[in-house]
Amino acid sequence: MPHDDRIPVAPGKIIAVHLAYGSRAAQRGRTPSAPSYFLKPTSSLASSGADVERPAGTELLAFEGEIALVIGARAHRVPLERAWDAVAAVTAANDWGVYDLRANDKGSNLRNKGRDGYTPVGPALVDARAVDPAALRVRTWRNGELVQEGTASDLLFPFAQLVADLSQHVTLEPGDVILTGTPAGSSVALPGDVVEVEVDAPGAPGAPTSGRLVSRVVAGTAPFDAALGSLPAVDDRQREEAWGSRDAAGLPPAGLSPSLRAKLRDAPVAGLSAQLRRRGHHSCFVDGVRTGIPGAKLVGTARTLRFVPFREDLFARHGGGYNAQKRVFDTVGDGEVVVIEARGDATSGTLGDILALRARTRGAAGVVTDGGVRDAAAVAAIGLPVFSQGPHPSVLGRRHVPWDVDVTISCGGATVQPGDIVVGDDDGVIVIPPALAEEVADAALAQEVEDAWIAEQVAAGHPVDGLFPMDAEWRARFDAARRAGG
């Protein structure tokens, strides 16, 4: 690609950080323990004032204002204390991406972030020697409104750590660019929008600045060829992440509506399961689990956690620190249920009182695990509905390695996806596909009315033959009693 003299850098490679700011991690509900990276092609470089194309057939073109580091000296296995010396300059960058194209990239971001013009940088370089790296600031404006502002002090991983870490794996050459991640506030831009990014050091002498990096969004017209590869695809989760929130994306609040939650609380699990079976769903049961609080009712949407069988080396890498188990209990939301895949192994605890207390404090609706529970009496005293295979005194590491969160799992023989509706009572736990929940709840409540009337007839001395279930004659009597208000 011929070099555009308006672009202040000519890198051999562009390396970008996936998630780097505390504000962004809080927005996404996950905090990485170490930095991770992806490559962007140099053909994605653009200058200030260039157009950014939203491809035909897509809707979620998102901007990410970032601080870009420009390498000035060859860096190979550079120690942390000397890593900043390898940086010659900083400038503004916008790490554009199309969320519609993320699904098949598996984290590489090639299709959604590697397109021509998707890495504008500039317009000016700021001498790295003239600034305190921790005091650098990045701001983004969309159509003149400030939408992002973050300082390097909010970084999860300081600039020097990024340089030193990368230099362990690849040799950084003069001119290479590192995009250091974006703070909260990244969102979607529409054709016609103008997005500006500026990096500055307001506390440094002369308040050095990159100037405003300007991008104008235009609509592409060339369609993708379905015969060549996968087409753009979006769902509500992608929309929420691209816009920054469900509200900004114009989506209804996550979770159950108050009216549906109330219906599910009133409907017994036995009745709900009967209605699911009538609709062809015969694998909705979480088998083998029972409540730790008799009489407790559980209603919520699923957050999933997957354990894999214990293996010493895997547990050493994944079992300690801020592992998957701790992350899901630290981020479970109001009205959500932590559902744990423990492969039906009741010979180890999968949570204890501390995690149960954390879940209750965050407003969780409860926990379902097809494994055991430690500190069972203390967990029950917390008041959080927990359904399990029963108590067991051992710690997690006896049988399990915490592995994944928010993935499709198997719990007690039932397939559970994030967002599925989970209902439990003294009879057990079932999983309801969200699209069926309202219909199934209404039908189960209607059946409860019928069953109550049938019970009255049985109590009055009538035989169950023809009454349970009702034949045409008894159905006519029931309908008449309903019309009469009886």
Q: What tens digit of pLDDT does each residue of 286-337 get?
A: 999 999 999 999 999 999 999 999 999 999 988 888 899 999 999 898 899 9
In this structure, of 25-29, 63-67, 326-330, the range with the lowest mean pLDDT score is: 25-29
- Output the furthest CA–CA distance in the chain (Å, rounded): 95
Q: Is the pLDDT of residue 463 over 90?
A: yes
Q: Residue 4: its pLDDT value, please?
A: 74
Residue 112 vs residue 484, higher pLDDT: 112
In this structure, of 78-87, 155-164, 470-479, the range with the lowest mean pLDDT score is: 470-479
192-226: pLDDT as tens digits: 999 999 999 998 899 999 999 999 999 999 999 98
Residue 171 pLDDT level (bands cut at 50, 70, 90) = very high
Q: Residue 1: its pLDDT value, please?
A: 42
pTM, full prediction: 0.64
Fold designation for 14-243 = Fumarylacetoacetate hydrolase; domain 2 (3.90.850)
Instruction: Provide the sign of the torsion angle of the four alpha carbons 154, 155, 156, 160, taken in this order.
Output: negative
Three-state DSSP at 325 gives helix
Q: Is the pLDDT of residue 3 over 70?
A: no
DSSP string covering 363-410? T--EEEESSBBSSHHHHHHHT--EEES-B--S-GGGTEEEEEESS-EE
Q: Residue 2: its pLDDT value, please?
A: 46
Q: Is the pLDDT of residue 31 over 90?
A: no
Q: Residue 165: its pLDDT value, please?
A: 97
Rounded to an integer, what distance in angstroms lies between the CA atom of residue 215 and that of residue 337?
Answer: 42
User: Is the preceding peptide bond at 463 cis, omega within 30 degrees of 0?
Assistant: no
Residue 21 pLDDT level (bands cut at 50, 70, 90) = very high
Q: Is the pLDDT of residue 53 over 90?
A: yes
Mean pLDDT of 269-285: 93
Q: What angle do CA 39, 42, 43 make, to 5 degrees?
A: 120
Alpha-helical segments (H) within 97-158: 110-113
Q: Is the pLDDT of residue 79 over 60?
A: yes
Q: Residue 421: its pLDDT value, please?
A: 96
Mean pLDDT of 459-468: 92
Q: Residue 462: its pLDDT value, please?
A: 94
pLDDT > 70 in the chain, percent: 99
Mean pLDDT of 157-171: 97
Residue 57 vs residue 28, higher pLDDT: 57
Q: What are phi and psi of 5, to 5 degrees?
A: -65, -15
Q: Give the range with max mean pLDDT: 3-12, 166-175, 251-260, 432-441.
A: 166-175
Rounded to an integer, what distance in angstroms lies between the CA atom of residue 464 and that of residue 462?
Answer: 7
Give domain limits for the chain. Answer: 14-243, 258-437, 442-483
Q: Is the pLDDT of residue 29 over 80?
A: no
| Surface-to-core class of residue 350, CB atoms within 10 Å of its CB (0-12 exposed, 13-18 middle, 19+ buried) | buried
Buried b (16+ CB within 10 A) or exposed e, 18-55: ebbbbebbebeeeeeeebeebebbbebbbbbebebbbb
Assign domain 258-437 one CATH number from 3.50.30.40, 3.90.1300.10, 1.10.1740.10, 3.40.50.300: 3.50.30.40
DSSP string covering 151-216? EGGGBSS-HHHHHHHHHHHS-B-TT-EEE----TT--B--TT-EEEEEEE-TTSTT--B---EEEE
